[in-house]
Structure 1
Amino acid sequence: MKKAIEFLRTTYLRGPNIWTYRPVIEAWVDLGELEDFPSNTLPGFFERLTGMLPGLIEHHCGVGERGGFLERLQEGTWMGHIMEHVAIELNNLAGLQTGFGQTRSTPVRGVYKVAVRARNEQVGRAAIVAARDIVMAAINDQPFDIDHTVQQLRDLVDDHHLGPSTACIVAAATERRIPHIRLNEGNLVQLGHGKAQRRIWTAETDRTSAIAEGISSDKDLTKSLLKSVGVPVPEGEVVDSPEAAWAAAEDIGLPVVVKPTDGNHGRGVSMDLKTREDVEKAFEFAARHGSEVMVERCIPGVEHRLLVVGGKVAAAARGETAWVVADGVATLRALVDAQINSDPRRGTTELHPLARLNLDDDTAIRNELARQGYTPDSVPAAGQRVLIQRNGNVAFECTPEVHPEVAAMVGLAARTVGLDIAGVDVVAEDISKPLHAQGAAIVEVNAGPGLLMHLRPANGEPRPVGAAIIDHLFPADASGRIPLVGVTGSTGTTRVARLISSLLLMAGRHVGLACRDGLFLDRRRIDAGDASRWDAGQRILINRKIDTAVFEHHPAGILGDGLPYDRCQVGVVTDADGLAGLADWHVVEPDHLYKVLRTQVDVVDESGLAVLHAAEPMLVEMADLCDGAVVLYALDGQLPALAAHRADGGRVLFAREGQIVLADGAQEQIIAPLPGESDTGDAAGTLAAVAVATYFGVSPALIAAGLEAGLGMSRA
């Protein structure tokens, strides 16, 4: 019996970090005695682990092909590495697909850092703990309930991860490299940063007006507005009693539909009513689901849901009625289970496009059976076809079938109500024909429509509804981004960040600044605490006023949180002197520090700029890592690194005879006098700030004025 692997620290790195651009769970684990027992020394371990998790065969690992990890497992690898792959597999089984993981040793024998991509913090933390327990069960030949563990992880996904509709929109934003920030524990998400941001709440956006939502929730008002612009709607009226409902039905003409005026998702709706008894029962049913009840003409045909985004049809789904055929022996309850609920597409989770039918809990189904003279326990005659559910099951993909006139009509309906995103319910016998030609009609226009029917249809291919919503919110030339500047190092970084912010403010920008002196919006300090960590950076990014943001990052913050953004326009690295303060992170060698500092350079955008201190050879080496351009700076203009960069046509800044000189290749320009700071580190930091300012087009005159005034030099 081997002693369990011990967790020393588990950290959720929420932004780009030393491992990857994406959030990860980083677990420090102590293998203890297992440091002396790689996988190939434990008889039966391979068979037991792969028996519990057969999906491990899909892991490529360092071999680079299917089965690569199993090859490593048989050759012999250590338990930290194995935990990494088990955690990856558990995330995949829980529905959060990932493939990234890394395991590295530390200077302490038997202690490893295990990093695994974590799309959700709660699921990631639970997966790494479960991975340890599974590995130990395989080592000690003990039983382990994998199915129960996976279900627990799936429950965590349901409780804590974005819902599938919101997740598909966020995924489409990510595909276009539009960043996102989750603003609550639910589905309120910011897309983009600062003044370029938009917000969604599932399928509602910050363009969805409260007035339009109010109109859509009032079915009678909606019908009145649609009718006034020529959209076909069923004749109907609001009633206040069962007797009035029957009187309205007689006036309209049978059959009729009875429904709440402010219901949704088909709740309280009864269709194809032909008798007084049915109409009056339907009134009572509808009254329980809404504030008022409406009676309207029953339109012949099938229910369709058309998703309208920005006035255009993005997807369409058709409903199907549900029937059973009796055998003269089984009850309707049993027939429903055998003929309808046995369909693998039906279930109780969002993974199933069709819902299971429950005759005991669904009043609409029981009412439908009662109109036919049945109860759930009835045994109809053999061969009798019984209608179980008239409306619902709207999950059958039919977007290519939608007639252009129908698309135009539902687009008009959404615009008339005022919704930028709407679910328009159409009843028609054939959606490929114009509505007027077949007596079809639009029966509802809904705000905040569900997207699942289009993402997981019961037939056909999913529709790219997330991309349609993103394209609606962000035209092709919009990225949702504002310029971000990150400054890291260990010496003078607060001063550099404040000076950059001040120079950009002078140029007329609205700047958010997060640094160790506090949190600033333009020139106003709103928080006096240390604001150089992840959460403070997020506060800057959600502010709708700012068009530029500056962040100070200490290496310890990168190690403990990651960066608060995925990409930046400018990354500044001032020095490589911070090794002494990072021992608690097992960062004890220069190459360890290099990996931390390079995080700032790794996230510079292709159109952006890395600003690196050329007096630090380690930082000069980072130039090759930058996706964008590179500016090198140093007080000594004769440094070989500056000369080499200039010879390659690169941009450099240096000091000469008290002046700041900007050189592009062989061309030189005097920017401003260099303030007479006594500290050479401060003087070099001034060059870094000026490099950023010139990148953003701040004029030499403004830079000179700012430096002369001492902007950003003193603490608030």
Structure 2
Amino acid sequence: MFWDKSIRNYPGRIPLKIQHMRTNYGPSVFHSRPTIVMTLDLERWSEVASTSVPYFAQKLVNVFPGLAEHTCSKGYDGGFVQRLQSGTYLAHIIEHMALELSTLSGIGVTYGKTRYAGRSGSYEVITRFKNECGMQECLRSAVQIALNLLEKKEIVLSEYIERIRNETSRTALGTTSAALLDAVRTRNIPYRFIGDGSLLQIGYGCKSKRLQTAVTEKTNLISADLAQDKDLTKKILEQNFLPVPLGFIATKEEEIVANLHDLTPPYVVKPLDGNHGRGVCLNLNSLEEVVEAFHFAQGMSEAVIVEEMCAGSDYRILVLDGKLIAAAERKPPSVIGDGEKTLSQLIDILNSNPARGSGHDNILSKIEVDHIIENHLKKLNISLSDVIEKGRVVKLRENANLSSGGTASDVTDMVHPEVVALCERAARIVGLDICGIDLIHKDITLPASAGAKIIEVNAGPGIRMHIAPSEGKGRPVAEMILEKVMPSPETGRIPIVTVTGTNGKTTTVRLIHKIISLNRKNVGLTTTDGIWIGKEKIYKGDTTGPRSAQAVLADPSVEFAVLEVARGGILRSGLGYDWSDVAVVTNISEDHIGQDGIEDMDDLVWIKSLTAERVRIGGTLVLNADDERVLAIRERPRVVEQMLNIFLFAMEKNNAHFISHIEKGGRGCCIENDWLVYYDGLRTQHILRLKEIPVTLGGKALFNVANVLAAAAACISSKISMEQLRDGLKGFKSTEENLGRFNVYKVRDSYVILDYGHNAEAFHSVGNYLNELKGYRKKVIMSLPGDRPDELIKKCAIHVSNFCEEIYFRDDLDLRGRQYLEVPQLCLEALAESGAYSQASIISQTPASVYKVIDQLKAGEILVIFYDTLAEILPTILDYDPQPVDFIPDVYTRSEDILGSYYKPTITAQPEKRTNAHSF
């Protein structure tokens, strides 16, 4: 049997391991909401079906009876069990185990997906999450349980569930943060958490704000510090004739002995800078009790406040921007005896209420029997083991903080106008925008002069007692706080344009950035070359993933965002934003096949379509009408649901899809008689001649013509004026503002072209341009990424051989798993197999090899360098003091200058050492 064979082959633990977990905080190809992706290495279990392991399916269902309700792909209850019985695979099983664990532990996630991860034995298990750490624990536990089942070990499911619940509780948002987050979501305001706590950024760029519980950007730091120092708060209130209890500060026991006689009992002892009622002891009547409470409070703060205890009820008043918005009466936790149960049992019953949780993670807090409760019960002459007579109410502690187990009743509509004025003035004096005032008063309906005393002023007050009081009406205080931070109908959004595709993305986003920046907007930009905030490049590198997008959208100076979005970032981490206003898809061609589980062109379309699916309702989707795969994106169900405005661009007006779209009243851009033309239905507007747009090289660089069309479409869709569009296109200098993307330099009497082409379509596009230039001898230096399949590498080499006389193959600096010179050798083989006429050789990856080829250039020659790393190759070219040019003449007539003998390179790993770049 397979089971016995597997155990025999694996005497220790059976191979099955988690390679890594990652979190997609934004939309991804898997789900529109955040997901966790766990990558598993199943090793020899990857092709083993559930039916191959005797009794496995039955053991699994015995441990998880709830799996019988999983529908799976069948779409009905029991569908997953049917899959188990007919044969399914371990990664898929672990997915369902994790989902069931989330149900049993109270998380309640139901979405999961399993996907092949691109290499044998490697799979991705994807689930949604409500609590990130809790769901990660579900996934880890599912793997552990699967191992134990395979090894025939006993499963104690309750232990796993308890661990998941503990992790969920430990990392859950508090009630205040959760309520604010719900309010943000209801308003459709974009958000993200900063760090692992509750610091929340809402909105994007210059519209963004930050919140942390009930603390906002408007919360004054001095005022917050003042509120933390309870004695200083008392002094400033007292100086302004606001009623506070008498008291003093003590740091030593001797100070209590010396000063206590000035106060009238009962007394209160509390930490100077405490919160949530921690370390507070009330209703103390003797020096001994005060001294004991003093030492207890010093566990939280070296300095301790001792003051007279005020008689009356305990109220919490919430003041927002100087106005009272909610009030609650707080009551200490208590139990009612039934004549049968002990006090301890009654407390357990109280804590079993689902509304009670640990700390602040629920509406009420569980009651913990601590030093304060024990001392209080001692005064009442009651022990936890005593049976409480029927009907007797036992108050468990004096203080009424919710964090200590207290309850609250809403009294907002009952507050006397004098008390309202008192509290609002106190908030103004302390200077807090959101202020929680603790008030002791005989009755909140009485005027303040009847004995009201302010005992504390709190910054960042909890709001759960106002949201969901034990009695009375809940108040929408989270919504009111959010309204003050970001008044309706503001949603905190700035315009976002995204660009994806196989080729042309970087040039397109740079063009858009240039054009939009002309109206003095501060535009954030992400590209494969780095991040820009306005004109400042803040980071260098390939920055086309979600982290880079989030950096732009988090900058409070950014008024407009232009984001290049690449396949790798989408697949590995999703998007760094929720919705865009305009999305551009330039083209989709063969690239990255065989990487990250991408098996064919349909996979590429699936990945790149995500940006189209995440355009806001009524936004604009810009598509290349010359690319059938791109055009098909407009028919995808999620795109149709968004009711998007479709904007097409085409190289020629006679494109049938373009004509049909325009005739139906659609918008688009195309080229007519060397003019860039805008169509709005049948109405036309001529924008510029191609020869006026430098990046098109006189209209000959068709790939850049396509990029200009895409950029113009995005800018028109962003309501940029035609005048600004023209100025931006005419003023865009390739070698200055599009560095590394088909930059043309004149070196002596020859030309050097620098480009980032790295796939067959890019090489084909460059070839089309070069084939239009007559009389020149064309050379190419090229390298290719080693993580491409052999056939794709060979295909690229053949493409290049079709438009040049000489090719110099070299390695990328990063071999990406290949052996040294392995890729260049594959390229040579491809040319030999295809019968290509180009001379071909291998040079080293050092700059010296490039210098040597440039040194050998003769008049009338064109050298194209397809580079891997711009920082490595650009200094080599600049060393020749090249002249940037906007075009190359169509015909080179002095053919005699390029006749004669040529440098014929040989296959070598180390070229001659170069000593002088300018010796010819």
Query: Normalising by structure 1, what TM-score?
Result: 0.86
Q: C-alpha displacement at 1:656, in angstroms? A: 1.5
Separation of aligned partners in 1, 2:297 and 2:484 = 36
Q: C-alpha displacement at 1:515, in angstroms? A: 0.7
Structure 2 partner of 1:414: 427
**Cα shift readout 1:648-707 (whole Å, capped 9, x = no counterpart):** 221101112222211111111122333224321111111111112222332222222222
Q: How does 1:65-84 map to 2 (within 5 A)?
A: 69-70=80-81, 73=84, 77-84=88-95
Separation of aligned partners in 2, 1:638 and 1:168 = 56
**Cα shift readout 1:59-80 (whole Å, capped 9, x = no counterpart):** 4544556665456556664443
Letter matched to residue 168 of structure 2: V
Among 238, 261, 268, which residue is 1:247 paired with?
261
Structure 2 partner of 1:173: 184
Separation of aligned partners in 2, 1:80 and 1:511 = 44
Structure 2 partner of 1:685: 707
Equivalent position SS for 2:651 = strand
Structure 2 partner of 1:498: 510
Q: Which moved more, 1:437-446 or 1:285-294?
A: 285-294
Q: Which moved more, 1:414-423 or 1:281-290?
A: 281-290
Distance 1:400 1:657, change over 3 A: farther
Q: C-alpha displacement at 1:89, in angstroms? A: 2.7
Separation of aligned partners in 2, 1:67 and 1:412 = 63
Structure 2 partner of 1:574: 586
**Cα shift readout 1:315-355 (whole Å, capped 9, x = no counterpart):** 7362225468799xx9xxx9542332442146655556333
Distance 1:636 1:189, change over 3 A: same
Separation of aligned partners in 2, 1:714 and 1:398 = 64
Structure 2 partner of 1:656: 672
Q: Which moved more, 1:119-128 or 1:475-484?
A: 119-128
Equivalent position SS for 2:263 = helix
Among 467, 470, 492, which residue is 2:482 paired with?
470
Distance 1:127 1:400, change over 3 A: same
CA contact (8 A) 1:428 1:435 kept: no
Distance 1:424 1:70, change over 3 A: farther
Higher relative contact order (CA 8 A, sep 6+): 1
Structure 1 partner of 2:344: 337
Q: C-alpha displacement at 1:290, in angstroms? A: 4.2
Letter matched to residue 648 of structure 2: L
Residue 584 of structure 1 pairs with residue 586 of structure 2: no
Residue 695 of structure 1 pairs with residue 711 of structure 2: no
Q: C-alpha displacement at 1:543, in angstroms? A: 1.0
Letter matched to residue 680 of structure 2: D
Among 644, 650, 658, which residue is 1:642 paired with?
658
Letter matched to residue 739 of structure 2: R
Structure 1 partner of 2:611: 600
**Cα shift readout 1:135-171 (whole Å, capped 9, x = no counterpart):** 4545665422322223333444355565554344233
Letter matched to residue 15 of structure 1: G
Separation of aligned partners in 2, 1:28 and 1:242 = 62
Distance 1:92 1:169, change over 3 A: farther
Letter matched to residue 613 of structure 1: N
Among 153, 159, 163, which residue is 1:148 paired with?
159
CA contact (8 A) 1:672 1:703 kept: no
Separation of aligned partners in 2, 1:86 and 1:377 = 42
Larger Rg, first or second structure (1 or 2): 2
Structure 2 partner of 1:320: 332
Letter matched to residue 609 of structure 1: T
> Unaligned 5+ residue runs, structure 2?
7-13, 741-920
Query: Normalising by structure 2, what TM-score?
Result: 0.68
Q: How does 1:372-411 map to 2 (within 5 A)?
A: 388-392=396-400, 394=402, 395-399=406-410, 402-405=413-416, 410-411=423-424
Letter matched to residue 665 of structure 2: G
Separation of aligned partners in 1, 2:137 and 2:281 = 45
Q: C-alpha displacement at 1:428, in angstroms? A: 4.1
CA contact (8 A) 2:33 2:128 kept: yes
Structure 1 partner of 2:145: 134
CA contact (8 A) 1:258 1:294 kept: yes
Structure 1 partner of 2:520: 508
CA contact (8 A) 2:20 2:38 kept: yes
Structure 1 partner of 2:728: 706
CA contact (8 A) 1:245 1:295 kept: no
Separation of aligned partners in 1, 2:553 and 2:581 = 14
Separation of aligned partners in 2, 1:504 and 1:570 = 13
Structure 1 partner of 2:549: 537
Q: Cα RMSD between the aligned structures?
A: 3.7
Structure 2 partner of 1:715: 739
Separation of aligned partners in 2, 1:704 and 1:291 = 69
Q: Which moved more, 1:337-346 or 1:383-392?
A: 383-392
Letter matched to residue 338 of structure 1: Q
Structure 2 partner of 1:91: 102
Letter matched to residue 715 of structure 1: L
Q: How many residues align?
A: 701
Q: C-alpha displacement at 1:306, in angstroms? A: 4.0
Structure 2 partner of 1:667: 683
CA contact (8 A) 2:169 2:361 kept: no
Distance 1:57 1:265, change over 3 A: same
Letter matched to residue 390 of structure 1: E
Structure 1 partner of 2:790: none
Separation of aligned partners in 1, 2:155 and 2:550 = 41
Q: Which moved more, 1:652-661 or 1:271-280?
A: 271-280
Distance 1:261 1:708, change over 3 A: same
CA contact (8 A) 2:16 2:41 kept: yes
Among 23, 26, 36, which residue is 2:34 paired with?
23
Distance 1:664 1:237, change over 3 A: same
Separation of aligned partners in 2, 1:157 and 1:462 = 26
Q: C-alpha displacement at 1:114, in angstroms? A: 3.1
Structure 2 partner of 1:219: 230
Q: Which moved more, 1:150-159 or 1:31-40?
A: 31-40
Separation of aligned partners in 2, 1:37 and 1:537 = 41
**Cα shift readout 1:48-101 (whole Å, capped 9, x = no counterpart):** 334433444554544556665456556664443332222223334455442222
